[in-house]
Amino acid sequence: MKKYIIIIPVYNDWQSVLKLIDNIDLQINNQNVDIIIINDASTEAIDDIKRTYSKINSVKVLNLINNIGHCQGIATTLQYCNTNLEFDYIIPMDGDGEDRPEELNSFFSLADSSSPEIITANRIKRSEGNLFKACYAVHKFLTYLMIGKMVKFGNYSCLSKKAVGKMLSSGSVWLSYSGSIIKNFSSIESVSSTRGTRYFGPSKMNFSKLVIHSLNISASFRETIFIRSTLLVMFFSYAAHETANSYFLIPAMLSWVFMLFMFYLSRKDDLKKLDASYLNIKDLTTFYSR
């Protein structure tokens, strides 16, 4: 029987993550599942009400010293699990309900039947308003123009132990989780996914975070960005020379600025920081075990 570890980052949203775990327990059939909550230096304490689950083996909390955000929290936990725990697959998912636990069975079924290296949950339907949906479509299109690859998924995915090791060999997972997957794997299995609604409170995803998310994905491909930006600079510079029109130098200059900005963002693509991520782990505590 395959061993699954579900990792869930949380920052001051314990009500949502505990409801999510209740719902995960309802979806498990005969799978061997443990859960690790990534406590990203929350300032609010998890309630101490004892909980029992009928199918989950254990729920543990990996407490981080400093808040580092979802992406780097997931990368830290992948590193910890790969070094210290036995597993066949790891499933990162958001803790607010937007990653629907009903879709775990699609992961379980595909992993149990064919043991793929990696499975992503590709969004076919979103729950946000029309404006955000339009912005998200623009994000996917612009990302495709910049790196030549379409990104249809977020953190919600299913990674084999081999895939985890491959991702951890590259610092790109410290910069962008989905960007790291696209960069490191040419063959990716996928399941269809519908974006759920948040259990409590408004969604934390907004336009500015979407822009940062998109840029971080692109920054994972700094070599591609460099080549494409250089070609654009050459094209507009040539056009300015041939037409004697200096206005063509404006997009050439913007292309250089964009390339430099991408290289600035790509500094987070840092294998040394990933390898040292254990220094930010305070402890691992057991919340539930049966």
Q: Tell whether 215 is covered by a domain.
A: no
Q: Tell whether 117 is covered by a domain.
A: yes
Return the pLDDT at 62.
Answer: 98
Q: What is the CATH number of the domain that holds 91?
A: 3.90.550.10
Asked if residue 245 and residue 118 are part of one domain, the reply reads no
The boundaries of the domain holding residue 197 are 3-206+270-289
197-211 confidence digits (pLDDT tens) = 889 877 666 566 767
Q: Tell whether 79 is covered by a domain.
A: yes
∠154-160-165 over CA atoms, to 5°? 90
Asked if residue 146 and residue 108 are part of one domain, the reply reads yes
Asked if residue 176 and residue 70 are part of one domain, the reply reads yes
Asked if residue 260 and residue 189 are part of one domain, the reply reads no
Return the pLDDT at 18.
Answer: 95
Return the pLDDT at 43.
Answer: 95
Q: For the chain, how far is it from start to end, CA to CA, in angstroms?
A: 18
97-139 confidence digits (pLDDT tens) = 999 999 999 999 999 999 999 999 998 765 555 665 666 666 6
Q: Tell whether 97 is covered by a domain.
A: yes
Asked if residue 187 and residue 245 are part of one domain, the reply reads no
Domain count for the chain, please give it: 2
Asked if residue 177 and residue 69 are part of one domain, the reply reads yes
Return the pLDDT at 88.
Answer: 98
Beta bridge mates, 118:
159
> What residues in the chain have per-residue pLDDT under 50?
none
Structure tokens at 260: 């430099």
Return the pLDDT at 204.
Answer: 64
Beta bridge mates, 289:
58
Q: Tell whether 216 is covered by a domain.
A: no
Asked if residue 157 and residue 257 are part of one domain, the reply reads no
- Residues 120/192, Cβ–Cβ less than 8 Å: no
CA distance 259 to 264: 9
Return the pLDDT at 252.
Answer: 87
Asked if residue 277 and residue 202 are part of one domain, the reply reads yes
CA distance 186 to 116: 13
Asked if residue 277 and residue 246 are part of one domain, the reply reads no
Go through 155-182 and write b for each residue having 16 or more CB atoms within 10 A of its CB, e for each that does not: bbbbbbbebbebbbebbbbbbbbbbbbb
Q: Tell whether 152 is covered by a domain.
A: yes
Q: Tell whether 212 is covered by a domain.
A: no
Asked if residue 84 and residue 188 are part of one domain, the reply reads yes
Asked if residue 282 and residue 260 are part of one domain, the reply reads no
Q: Tell whether 217 is covered by a domain.
A: no
Return the pLDDT at 285.
Answer: 95
Asked if residue 45 and residue 28 are part of one domain, the reply reads yes
